[in-house]
Amino acid sequence: MDPAPCTCRDEEAMAHGIAAAVPQVVDLVHLHVRRTEAARHVADYLRGLLADIERKNGWQLAEHAGYAHPRGIQRVLARYAWDADAVRDALQDHVIATLGDPGGILVIDETGFPKQGTKSVGVARQYCGTLGKIGNCQIGVFLGYASPQGHAAIDRALYVPQAWLADPARCREAGIPADIPMQTKPQLALAMLERALDAGISAA
């Protein structure tokens, strides 16, 4: 039997649920952002990601937030100091409290991000599921959690090919720490699984 189609009322309820959750998410992130201005830009960035915007680039996110220029939005990802791992840990605590269930399931998946240039960390010619073929891309490995209460992404890791790590000058230019070890995608996945279970995620 095919699932019932989503109604306008369902979509409205989902939109209201997302809008209600945004302040909680913003509060979680604010704890790990050092400057008030940066925290405001992070909040506007998050609201933009959840908004009905056709293309979520710097200009359109900035326009949605009422900015005259995308610099504030771009600084969220490029320049502001915030602890991504601390945000991840806060997210996992939130998921444990709101979605945790003994019958929950941990889900591992990888996603390719097509790229045209050579500067993005980890970019290389490799199989990209997004393209369905070998292409120039980055690969992210992601951990999700699903339970009867809902589902959420709870961790992430960027795959860095050996060719990158064998080029110290390229790594320095891209800001990759000198002591980062080579890890395969399964190794990244296992580390995320162990981290989630150590944090107290309930899973069958």
Which domain-ending residue is among 47, 78, 109?
A: 78
Q: Are residues 110 and 28 part of one domain? A: no
Per-residue pLDDT of 127-150, as tens digits, reads 999 999 999 999 999 999 999 999
Residue 90 in any domain: the answer is no
Tally of domains in the chain? 2
Residue 15 in any domain: the answer is yes
Q: What is the C-alpha separation between 176 and 163, in angstroms, rounded? A: 13
Residue 71 in any domain: the answer is yes
Q: What is the C-alpha separation between 103 and 28, in angstroms, rounded? A: 26
- Going by DSSP bridges, is the β-strand pair 124-128/133-147 parallel, antiparallel, or unpaired? antiparallel
Residue 88 in any domain: the answer is no
Q: Are residues 193 and 106 part of one domain? A: yes
CB atoms within 10 A of CB 117: 7
Q: Are residues 107 and 50 part of one domain? A: no
Q: What is the C-alpha separation between 88 and 15, in angstroms, rounded? A: 24
Who has greater pLDDT, 172 or 17? Answer: 172
Mean pLDDT across 160-168: 95
Q: Are residues 119 and 61 part of one domain? A: no
Helix, strand, coil percentages for the chain (3-state, nearest 5): 45, 20, 30
Q: Are residues 110 and 187 part of one domain? A: yes
Helix (H, G, I), strand (E, B) or coil at 2: coil
Residue 89 in any domain: the answer is no
Which H or E run includes 117?
Answer: none
Please tell me the predicted confidence (pLDDT) of residue 203: 93
Residue 155 in any domain: the answer is yes
Please tell me the predicted confidence (pLDDT) of residue 16: 67
Straight-line distance from the first to the last Cα atom of the chain, in angstroms, rounded to the nearest whole number: 27
Residue 204 in any domain: the answer is no
Q: Are residues 112 and 59 part of one domain? A: no
Which domain-ending residue is among 33, 63, 78?
A: 78
Please tell me the predicted confidence (pLDDT) of residue 3: 53
Q: Are residues 122 and 64 part of one domain? A: no
Average pLDDT, the chain: 88
Residue 53 in any domain: the answer is yes
Q: What is the C-alpha separation between 169 and 80, in angstroms, rounded? A: 24
Domain containing 24: what range?
8-78
Q: What is the C-alpha separation between 164 and 170, in angstroms, rounded? A: 7
